[in-house]
Amino acid sequence: MLLRIEDLHISYGQVRAVHGVSFHVEEGELVSIIGANGAGKTSILNAVMGMVPSSSGAVFLEDRDLSSMPSHMRAREGIRIVPERARVFPWLSVYENLQTGIYGMRDKIDLEEKLSWIYSFFPVLEERRDQAAVTLSGGEQQQLSIARALVSEPRILLVDEVSMGLMPILVDKVFEVLQHLNREYGLTILIVEQNALASLEISHRGYVLEAGNLVMEGSAEDLMEDSGVREAYLGL
């Protein structure tokens, strides 16, 4: 098991957002956590990354307990997040944003080699290499955000609501690239999404999150065939 989360609880003051969630991701898997607005998806990813504190619970990468490790150390261990709404550095160029992806890494990474690989599936980032990131469209910023996470050769990529605010055609394109990275390069990916159909379609397994609790898990196929999931999350 590459990533294992045990009995995670997250509170913001009096607001209890996540109530004892346990799940795992195997090496080479693409796993989705689907759930409605406010279910706690972002909180879970941020806690895995160490960006919000958990009130209790544990995060293991392989058998190492990372629970007390700050987020920059977790990044060094190979966990990388593509945050909600991309969050690129607006006034840095595309290239400079990509450079920040390898900042602080323990092993020396050949950025140019990584970039020629990344440009092969995000060619627009090469075309816009010297432009400030703020001039990119929402979809291009999402591509940049994914690319910045990829340059560090992550062991697991956490992807937060990547479809938000994107036109359907771009959602398809971004999900296609994530699937390609997983199937062709074996990249382990954990996605949290409101767009349950798009994310389950490319996933091996999924979990359903309701009001801070995981209420269902299964193969992506089984979840997509479940009548409750179809009605509540797939609009079918």
As measured in angstroms, the least distance from the Cβ of 3 to ligand ATP is 18
The span of 10-18, 150-158, 196-204, 222-230 binding ligand ATP (CB under 6 A) equals: 10-18
Applying CB under 6 A, what is the total number of residues that bind ligand ATP?
Answer: 13
Phi, psi (degrees; rounded to nearest 5) at 60:
-115, 135
Is 194 a binder of ligand ATP (CB under 6 A)?
yes
Q: Chain centroid to CA 8: how far?
A: 18
Task: Dihedral sign for Cα 118, 122, 128, 134, please.
Answer: negative
State how far the Cα of 197 lies from the Cα of 85, in Å rounded to an integer: 20
Q: Tell me how far, at minimum, the Cβ of 195 lies from ligand ATP, in Å.
A: 10
φ, ψ for residue 135 (rounded to 5)? -85, -5
Minimal distance, residue 46 CB to ligand ATP, in Å? 7
DSSP 134: G
Of residues 105-164, which lie at the interface with ligand ATP (CB under 6 A)? 161
CA distances from 1 to 34, 150, 186 (A): 21, 21, 14
- Least distance from C-beta 151 to ligand ATP, angstroms? 26
Residue 193 makes contact with ligand ATP by CB under 6 A: no
**Which 8-state DSSP code applies to residue 194?**
S
Task: Region of 132 please: left (phi>0), alpha (psi -120 to 50) or beta.
Answer: beta
Q: Nearest approach, Cβ of 11 to ligand ATP (angstroms)?
A: 9
Q: Which of residues 16-75 bind ligand ATP (CB under 6 A)?
A: 17, 35, 37-43
Q: Which stretch binds ligand ATP (CB under 6 A): 12-20, 59-67, 127-135, 137-145?
A: 12-20
Cβ closer to ligand ATP: 53 or 186? 53
From CA 35, how far away is CA 175, in angstroms rounded?
17
CB of 10 or CB of 94, closer to ligand ATP: 10
**Which residues in this chain contact ligand ATP in the complex, by CB under 6 A?**
12, 15, 17, 35, 37-43, 161, 194
